[in-house]
């Protein structure tokens, strides 16, 4: 099972024991205002995040969502090692995709979850 969680909502989640999943940060940049000592993640996969240029272009604009997803999926096709790492963790149990964006409906975690679920089918 793939879960999505905003890192700021539960920065010190305890992974498998508390939240029921392997916690993977999927942002290219470290979450602003949080120190690495106060954030509990099991893995940080930077290249599973959108490229800087795609992220800036999208700017969480709902009107660009469909195009963002298409462009992001093309980028993810080149990240086979990272995608396989996430899929391997999924075979062992639940995964929590952690993101830092304020927008809870239109962000890379939502798109990545969709991408991963389509691969598994």
Q: Is the pLDDT of residue 68 over 80?
A: yes
Residue 121 pLDDT: 54
When the pLDDT of each residue in the chain is averaged and rounded to a whole number, the result is 92
Q: What is the DSSP letter of 1?
A: -
Residue 14 pLDDT: 64
Q: Could you tell me the pLDDT band of residue 97, with boundaries at 50, 70 and 90?
A: very high
Which tens digit of pLDDT belongs to each residue from 14-60? 644 455 799 999 999 999 999 988 899 999 999 999 999 999 999 99
What 3-state class would DSSP assign to 13?
coil
Which tens digit of pLDDT belongs to each residue from 14-26? 644 455 799 999 9
Burial class (CB in 10 A: 0-12, 13-18, 19+), 108: buried
Domain boundaries, the chain: 2-120
Residue 94 pLDDT: 94
């Amino acid at each position: 099972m793939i879960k999505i969680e905003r890192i700021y909502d539960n920065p010190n989640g305890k992974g498998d024991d508390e939240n029921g999943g392997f916690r993977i940060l999927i942002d290219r940049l470290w979450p602003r205002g949080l120190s690495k000592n106060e954030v509990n993640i099991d893995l940080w996969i930077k290249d599973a995040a959108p490229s800087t240029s795609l992220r800036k272009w999208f700017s969480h604009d709902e009107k660009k969502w469909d195009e963002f997803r298409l462009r992001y999926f093309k980028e993810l096709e080149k990240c086979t090692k990272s995608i396989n790492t996430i899929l391997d963790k999924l075979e062992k149990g639940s995964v929590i995709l952690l993101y830092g964006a304020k927008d809870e409906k239109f962000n890379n975690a939502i798109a990545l979850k969709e991408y991963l679920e389509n691969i598994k089918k």
